[in-house]
Amino acid sequence: MRVLFYTLKQSFIQFGRNLNMSIISIFAITCMMLILSLFFIMALNINVAAETVKGEYDSIELFLLDDTTKKEAKAMIDDMKQQDGVSDAYYKSKKQALAEFKERWGDNGYLLDSLKDNPLPNSVVIMIGDLEKADALAKHAESYEGVEDIKYYKSTVDKLLKATHFMQIAAMIIMVFLIIVSIIVVSNTIKLTVFNRADEISIMKYVGATNWFIRGPFLVEGIIIGVLSAAIALLITGVVYQKIVELIGDQVYSMLSMPMVETEYLLSTYGWIFGALGVAIGCLGSLVSLRRFLDV
């Protein structure tokens, strides 16, 4: 208990004495974390987009030519229902389609009111039970007479998933880079404190203080730097992202028909990563400098 108190007190004193350098390192690490944020934001949004599309992955929509009759459509539905892997198939009129569209556009829905004709086609929606069969079913459906186009999400999903994957790898690489640079930054900052306290520590070692007791305040000093950087980076990310969502969220929604990830969700998803990064960078940074300059 007293040890904990001593460690905390000492670490804050050190942090304060070394304030300039601490602020510079916090600034540097925050900047790097913000770059990471950018990748996280993109990765998360694309990922959520992929998930959203994936929800529709299990359906194939056949857009019918205008002169295709309801009867022909019914025949398609019956035929599809016979196919292996189809769980359901139903008819969607152009009226229903427009209503859905309008709903999706939300506040911008009024724009559609000015339309004289409904530009959307009638369609047949096929629900797929067994995703393995999706490709074959799509091919089969394409062969029907009276089908103008077919909306099938697999390729889109694949593309999005690839993008997510790429983003994740990029984020990983940046994260490794960030960690290494940040550790160097922290260790150089701690190095100054170590030099400031070299005499004291040398005496502590002679008197028989344990290494962890000696390291404690430096570790906490490093953690303070790391966690403060993470907190600031997270705060900036949150505020800026919120602004972006407010500014272009609606456009994104109407253009891509999917919402941007909410700020709270973003922060709660990556908050702990930033926290862990901050702690890890702080600990490793100070341990590196302690090993190099103090041999404890």
Partner 1 sequence: MIVFDNVTKRYKSNVALENVSIKINKGDFVFLVGPSGAGKSTFIKLILKEIQADKGTVTVRDINVTKLRPRGVPKLRRNIGIVFQDFRLLPKKTVYENVAFAMEIIHQPRKLIKKNVPQVLTMMGIADKADKYPDELSAGEQQRVAIARAIVNKPRILIADEPTGNLDPNTAWEIMQLLNEINQRGTTIVMVTHAKDIVDKMGKRVIAIENGHIVRDEFGMYGYQEALAAGNESMFGTRPVNKVHTVRRIFRRGGGRK
Within its chain, how far is the Cα of 216 from the centroid? 34
Tokens of 68: 């295709």
Element (H, E) at 89: strand 86-92
Nearer to partner 1, 92 or 215 (CB): 215
C-beta of residue 260 within 8 angstroms of C-beta of residue 245: yes
Residue from the set 161, 204, 244, 273 that interacts with partner 1 by CB under 8 A: 204
Q: State the CB neighbour count (10 A cutoff) for residue 19.
A: 10
Taking CB under 8 A as the criterion, which residues in 180-199 touch partner 1? 199
109 by Cβ neighbours in 10 Å (0-12 / 13-18 / 19+) ranks as: middle
Of the candidates 197, 215, 224, the one whose C-alpha atom is nearest the C-alpha of residue 25 is 224
Taking CB under 8 A as the criterion, which residues in 213-272 touch partner 1? 213
Residue from the set 87, 108, 210, 257 that interacts with partner 1 by CB under 8 A: 210
Of the candidates 42, 56, 254, the one whose C-alpha atom is nearest the C-alpha of residue 155 is 56
Nearer to partner 1, 209 or 279 (CB): 209
CB of 203 to partner 1, least distance (A): 6
C-beta of residue 283 within 8 angstroms of C-beta of residue 219: yes
Residue from the set 203, 235, 247, 248 that interacts with partner 1 by CB under 8 A: 203
| Residue span 2-41 as binding mask against partner 1, x where in contact by CB under 8 A, dash where not | xx--x-----------------------------------
Amino acid at 72: E
CB of 5 to partner 1, least distance (A): 11
CA-CA distance, 178 to 32, in Å (whole number)? 6
Q: Which one of the spans 208-216, 217-225, 267-275, 286-294 is the region binding partner 1 (CB under 8 A)?
A: 208-216
Residue from the set 200, 256, 268, 276 that interacts with partner 1 by CB under 8 A: 200
Q: State the CB neighbour count (10 A cutoff) for residue 209.
A: 14
Residue from the set 71, 103, 107, 206 that interacts with partner 1 by CB under 8 A: 206
Q: Which residues make up the interface to partner 1 (CB under 8 A)?
A: 2-3, 6, 199-200, 202-211, 213
